[in-house]
C-alpha cells in the first residue's frame, strides 16, 4: 500500500511512523519553509518520533500526491479548504483521502469531510480517522482504540482492517456526522477542563464529562446524526486524553489561559468553539458549555481567571432542567 501523509507536525509525523511500522510505502510531506518539516529534515526526528529510514520525506506536493493510493491529511482544520485548492490542481480522481484531524470550518460551519466534497472529492473516497490516544503514549507502546468512519462502508472497513495493529484497535464508525462533530467538540471540552484545573475546580470534571457529552449529543441529533455517537470513541471515548492528560494541548491551553500564560501550540478547541456556537444558533440547540468557552476565547477579557470564576456561578445557576432535556 502506497500512502502519503500530508502534514508532518505532531500527528502527521506519528501517522507516518505508525504506517511505516505497518510495512507500508510511506511518504511524509511538509512545506519546505515549515518549521516541522525543517526539524525532521535537519535532525531526522522531532519531540515525538524519530523519522523512520523507510519513510521518504519530501516538500514536493506533486511527488507526494503522485506516489499515493491513500492520502492522509493532518493539518490545522481551518487551513483545509485552502490546502485542497493546491491538491486538486493534480489528478486525484483515483485517490482515497483520510482526514486525521478534528475541527469545524468557522466560516461555513462545514464538517471537514464536507470541505473535501465541496473541493471536488467524491464522498466515496473520503474517510476520517479519529478517537483517543496521545502520541507520547503510543510511542511508549501503550495501546488505545480509535475509529474510522466514511460514507463509503467498503472504504472504512478496508482502512480499519488494514491499519489495525496491537497498538491501535480500530472500530468501524457508522455515523459520519456524529463522528466528526463529536471529535471536534471534545477539544472544546478540553479547554473547559484546563480552565477548571487552573481555577482549582477539578471535581467539576465529572459533571463536565456528563453534561458536555449531552450537550454535544443534542447538536449531533439536530444536524441529522445519531445522538448516541457523542458517547462513542470520537467524543466521550476521547475525554480521558483531553480532559485529564498532561499531553492535551486543549486542556493545557485552558489551564495556562486561566493562569495568565500563553500556550504557543495549536489548540483546535478555540476555533471549534466559534464554529459550534454558530451551529448551535443555526439549529436552535442550547450549548451552554460551548458558549462559555467562546465567551472566554473571543470576548473582551483581560483577567481570564476572574472571567472563568464568574462564568462558573452563571453556569451553576441556570434554570433547572431535566437531565436529558432536548
DSSP, res 164: -
The residue among 132, 68, 64, 58 whose CA lies nearest residue 97 is 68
Contact 59, 31 (CB under 8 A): yes
Instruction: Please report the DSSP string for 224-254 in residue order.
Output: TS-GGGGGSTTTGGGHIIIII-TT-HHHHHH
Residue 193: partners with Cβ closer than 8 Å, 6 or more residues away: 205, 208, 242, 243, 244, 248, 250, 251, 254
Local structure of residue 44 (DSSP, 8 states)? S
CB 234 within 8 A of CB 131: yes
Contact 198, 187 (CB under 8 A): no
Q: Is 205 assigned a catalytic role? A: no
Q: Which entry of 102, 186, 205, 274 is annotated as an active-site residue?
A: 186
Cβ within 8 Å of residue 47, ≥6 positions away: none
- Print burial letters for 149-166: b (CB count within 10 Å at least 16), e (below 16): bbebeebbebbbeebeee
Q: How many CB atoms lie within 10 A of CB 276?
A: 29
DSSP conformation class of 24: -
Please identify which residue in the block is written with the cell numbers 511505516.
20
Separation of alpha carbons 267 and 70, rounded Å: 27
70 HSE (CA, 13 A, CB side): 23
End-to-end Cα, the chain, rounded Å: 45
Residue pair 199/309 in contact (Cβ under 8 Å)? The answer is yes
Active site residues: 186
Amino acid at each position: 500500500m502506497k500512502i502519503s501523509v500530508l502534514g508532518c507536525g505532531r500527528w502527521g509525523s506519528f501517522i507516518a511512523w505508525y504506517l511505516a511500522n505497518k510495512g507500508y510505502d510511506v511518504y511524509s510531506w511538509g512545506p519546505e519553509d515549515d518549521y516541522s518539516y525543517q526539524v525532521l529534515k535537519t535532525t531526522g526526528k522531532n519531540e515525538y518520533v524519530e523519522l523512520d529510514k523507510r519513510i521518504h520525506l519530501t516538500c514536493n506536493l506533486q511527488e507526494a500526491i503522485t506516489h499515493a493510493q491513500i492520502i492522509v491529511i493532518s493539518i490545522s482544520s481551518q487551513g483545509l479548504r485552502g490546502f485542497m485548492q493546491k491538491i486538486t490542481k493534480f489528478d486525484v480522481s483515483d485517490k482515497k483521502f483520510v482526514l486525521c484531524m478534528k475541527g469545524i470550518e468557522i466560516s461555513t460551519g462545514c464538517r471537514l469531510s464536507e470541505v473535501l466534497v465541496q473541493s471536488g472529492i467524491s464522498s466515496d473516497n473520503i474517510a476520517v480517522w479519529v478517537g483517543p490516544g496521545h502520541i507520547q503514549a503510543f510511542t511508549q507502546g501503550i495501546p488505545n482504540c480509535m475509529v474510522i468512519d466514511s460514507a463509503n462502508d467498503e472504504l472504512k472497513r478496508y482502512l480499519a482492517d488494514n491499519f489495525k495493529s496491537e497498538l491501535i484497535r480500530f472500530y468501524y464508525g457508522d455515523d459520519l456526522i456524529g463522528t466528526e462533530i463529536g471529535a471536534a467538540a471534545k477539544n472544546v471540552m478540553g479547554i473547559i477542563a484546563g480552565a477548571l484545573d487552573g481555577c482549582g475546580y477539578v471535581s467539576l470534571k465529572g459533571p463536565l464529562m456528563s453534561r458536555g457529552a449531552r450537550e454535544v449529543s443534542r447538536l449531533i441529533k439536530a444536524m441529522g446524526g445519531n445522538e448516541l455517537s457523542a458517547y462513542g470513541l470520537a467524543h466521550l471515548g476521547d475525554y480521558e486524553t483531553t480532559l485529564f492528560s498532561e499531553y492535551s494541548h486543549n486542556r493545557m491551553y485552558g489551564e495556562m489561559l486561566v493562569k495568565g500564560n500563553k500556550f504557543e501550540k495549536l489548540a483546535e478547541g478555540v476555533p471549534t468553539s466559534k464554529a459550534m456556537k454558530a451551529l448551535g444558533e443555526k439549529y436552535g440547540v442550547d450549548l451552554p458549555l460551548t458558549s462559555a468557552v467562546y465567551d472566554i476565547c473571543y470576548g473582551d477579557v483581560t483577567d481570564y481567571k476572574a472571567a472563568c470564576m464568574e462564568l462558573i456561578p452563571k453556569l451553576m445557576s441556570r434554570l433547572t432542567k431535566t437531565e436529558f432535556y432536548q
